[in-house]
Amino acid sequence: MIQALRKLLDKFLNSLFKKKKHIKLGLYGPPNAGKTTLANKICTDWLGEEMGNVSDVAHETREIQIKEQISIKAKGKELSFNLVDTPGIATKIDFEEFIKAGMKKKEAKIRAKEATKGVIDAIKWLDDMDVVIVVLDSTEDPFSQVNITIIGNLQARDIPVLIVANKIDLKKSDMKRIESAFPQYKIASISAKFGNNIDNFYEALLDMVN
């Protein structure tokens, strides 16, 4: 009887351990919020190498990118995860916007096609995530339906969410607006580009998962 209970306990602890070792941590958000910049910051801090390209032109990340086996530590806590950087989720993609950004028509059309596929993939991957960081641009209106839909879908799937208000180094950054839009969520305010408040972000992430 005792042995059976011990086996059961071991199985439970192993599954817990195993689960924690293979956490999939997703970066979600609208285009140009700074998801890949944050992914690069995390990878540089803990692996010593970047994850992907960043650009001012929207939809730079058009494919799911994964960096495996990242371990972060803060205040005696540790978390190992596979980081999944996803393309920005949008409800519209117009190739002419890319032409305005300086691309040739053919290149713009290809980029638009890839971007639409990227959005579809990002949504498909929602079901595979264990934890999600929703990256928002703190200079932009947080009440957009894309933000609400992403967070609502994570809530419906019982996936823990940490909201990151990025770009706090910019004058137009408005934290209060983000806090009023999502009062029920923990929000970490950072500048992924310059590393402002990044330690607070790591602590908030570890607090949420542990």
Number of residues that bind other proteins (CB under 8 A): 28
Taking CA atoms, 121 is separated from 1, 87, 88, 118, in Å, by 48, 8, 10, 5
φ, ψ at 201 (rounded to 5°): -65, -45
Separation of alpha carbons 112 and 2, rounded Å: 61
Q: Is 152 in the site for other proteins (CB under 8 A)?
A: yes
Residue with tokens 């950004």: 101
CB of 113 to other proteins, least distance (A): 8
Amino acid (1-letter code) at residue 64: I
CB of 123 to other proteins, least distance (A): 5
Q: Is 63 in the site for other proteins (CB under 8 A)?
A: no
Residue with tokens 């641009």: 137
- Contacting range for other proteins; rule: CB under 8 A; set: 7-15, 40-48, 66-74, 140-148: 140-148
Which CB atom, from 42 or from 151, has the smaller least distance to other proteins?
151
Q: Is 93 in the site for other proteins (CB under 8 A)?
A: yes
Query: DSSP code of 88?
Result: P
Q: Is 89 in the site for other proteins (CB under 8 A)?
A: yes
- The sheet with strand 187-189 has its strands ordered as 65-74, 77-85, 23-28, 131-137, 161-166, 187-189
Chain-centroid distance of CA 113 in Å reads: 23
- Contacting range for other proteins; rule: CB under 8 A; set: 13-21, 28-36, 120-128, 187-195: 120-128
Q: Is 95 in the site for other proteins (CB under 8 A)?
A: yes
Which residues here bind other proteins, judged by CB under 8 A?
89-95, 112, 116-117, 119-120, 123-124, 126, 141, 143, 145-146, 148-150, 152-153, 155-156, 180, 183
